[in-house]
Amino acid sequence: MSSRHKTYIASPQSVIHGTLRVPGDKSISHRAIMLAALAEGTTEITGFLEGEDALATLQAFRDMEVSIEGPLAGRVIVHGVGLHGLKPPAKPLYLGNAGTAMRLMAGLMAAQTFDVTLTGDKSLSRRPMNRVVKPLTAMGAVIDSGEDGHPPLMIRGRQKLKGIHYDMPVASAQVKSCLLLAGLYADGETSVTEPGVARDHTERMLRGLGYPVAIDGRQVAITGGGRLTSAGQIDVPADISSAAFFLVAASIAPGSELLLTHVGVNPTRTGVIDILRLMGADITFENEQETGGEPVADIRVRHAPLKGVTIPKHLVPLAIDEFPVLFVAAACAEGETLLQGAEELRVKESDRIQVMADGLNALGVKAVALPDGMRISGSTAGQLFQSGVVHSHGDHRIAMAFAVASLRSQGDIRILDCANVATSFPNFVGLARSVGLNVRETES
């Protein structure tokens, strides 16, 4: 895991253009390793994200004696051990900065025949886990946690889980997936009802591995006692959350045009595109197809003048990871942009509402943090961001968002604490420079 301090220096640039493929989808990479390990047979994963978060998940299963070859150029071969074949790890499972991995692993580990402790880095250790601990406890799991439900999670094995019905208070793919994975081992049916749409990668992949999943409107149900069979191959598309930085970059820089190839466009993940289109962005899909149960497309984006909008609340959970860079788009739009109903942003890798508001204000943009969102006064003036220093607080998406802002800045933007970009987007700087962004990294 990265321990060095890194600073980005992002300098003004007028236009970007080209074709690129961003790294593989992080959410799907996590799930591919987990479910391939629990399947019977060998699964080849292509397009795997070789970022620190996904590599932490891979290592956790190696620590439980699953044989995994790779990764090499995004290719991983997993020799599955079946639902009951995991072995006790010799030490706590370290999940780095990966909140997705910890919440999903909590569901899987709650049903094993051995005790296990899930740990993470300083940032992950501040993130709330009660949202999965409480429903897992209702299923019969025994989990001890740190103060206020924070990691580490100490999970007692040899518990007999029972299926429950759980009405989620907020839409969360991580909570839903956690309970479905626990439900693989539970007696009877486990069902989850969502108050809104959340990403459905787990359900799609379970079905692809031969496990029945019942979906009725916003209720998803699974019955324990089945088995997972190898799909042979899982193709991980490019991550739309990573593509989002370039969607905004080309939208805000006059004269720009980019083609982003083989991007996952699962409708539970395309909120960022829906919001940008509402703002006036010129985004089109080409070469649409389906691979491994997931829709993919090449995405072409051209510069277009943006306008401020009130973001529809139904789109919030579909773009929850992309709001840092959407705030940059809002700063470049004519008029005001208002986001509400996104309190989830306060418990991500950082308090993304406050950290982005502080950074935008430091660069001369009027941004007001709200309890559940933000109000941003946009501008279509030429170079609208002042030069300055912003702190990412170790949050990879904050760091990359402010790098994109440099396309409309008066001078250099210095972004502190950027080492964690490697958790989701290895070689961000190299790919960004390949299409014209003027960003470099230094050790600090």
Mapping DSSP onto H, E and C, the string for 216-277 reads ECCEEEEECCCCCECCCEEECCECHHHHHHHHHHHHHCCCCEEEEEEEECCCCCCHHHHHHH
What confidence tens digit (pLDDT) does each residue in 324-351 have?
Answer: 999 999 999 999 999 999 998 998 888 9
State the pLDDT at residue 3: 43
Q: Which candidate in 321, 372, 412, 417 is catalytic?
A: 321
Based on the number of CB atoms within 10 Å of its own CB, is 2 exposed (0-12), middle (13-18) or buried (19 or more)? Answer: middle
CA distance 222 to 191: 6
State the pLDDT at residue 149: 83
How confident is residue 2, by pLDDT bands cut at 50, 70 and 90?
A: very low
- Residue of 121, 127, 48 whose CA lies nearest to 417: 121
All residues at 6 or more sequence positions from 217 whose CB lies less than 8 Å from its CB, including other chains: none
**Are 191 and 224 contacting, i.e. CB atoms less than 8 angstroms apart?**
no
User: For the chain, which residues make up each domain, given as ranges?
Assistant: 6-24+237-443, 26-235
Q: Is 343 helix (H, G, I), strand (E, B) or coil?
A: helix
What confidence tens digit (pLDDT) does each residue in 237-263 have?
Answer: 999 999 999 999 999 999 999 999 999
CA distance 326 to 401: 8
244 backbone dihedrals φ, ψ, rounded to 5°? -55, -35
**Are 124 and 99 contacting, i.e. CB atoms less than 8 angstroms apart?**
yes
CA distance 24 to 168: 28
Amino acid sitting at position 43: T
Indicate if 372 belongs to the active site. Answer: no
- For residue 431, the number of C-alpha atoms closer than 13 Å in the C-beta half-sphere is 21
Rounded mean pLDDT, 76-86? 97
C-alpha dihedral, 19 to 23 to 28 to 34, nearest 10°:
150
CA distance 407 to 325: 13
* Segments of 242-281 assigned E as strands: 257-264
| 106: number of Cβ within 10 Å | 26
- Residue of 38, 153, 33 whose CA lies nearest to 85: 38
CA distance 423 to 51: 5
Q: How far is CA 438 from the centre of its chain?
A: 25
- Residue of 324, 443, 394 whose CA lies nearest to 127: 394
Tell me the pTM. Answer: 0.87
State the pLDDT at residue 196: 84
> For a pLDDT cut of 70, what percent of the chain falls above it?
98
C-alpha dihedral, 41 to 42 to 47 to 48, nearest 10°:
80
The vertex-378 CA angle with 377 and 379, nearest 5°, equals: 130
Please give the biggest Cα pair distance in the chain: 63
Same fold flag, 6-24+237-443 and 26-235:
yes
**Are 436 and 13 contacting, i.e. CB atoms less than 8 angstroms apart?**
yes
Amino acid sitting at position 78: V
Question: What CATH number belongs to 26-235?
Answer: 3.65.10.10
- For the domain made up of 6-24+237-443, give the CATH fold: UDP-n-acetylglucosamine1-carboxyvinyl-transferase; Chain (3.65.10)
Q: How far is CA 433 from the centre of its chain?
A: 23
**Pairing mode, strands 6-11 and 438-443:** antiparallel
Rounded mean pLDDT, 158-171? 94
Q: Which token pair is 105?
A: 């692993």
What confidence tens digit (pLDDT) does each residue in 96-117 have?
Answer: 989 999 999 999 999 999 999 9
- pLDDT of 37 over the 80 cut: yes
- For residue 207, the number of C-alpha atoms closer than 13 Å in the C-beta half-sphere is 12
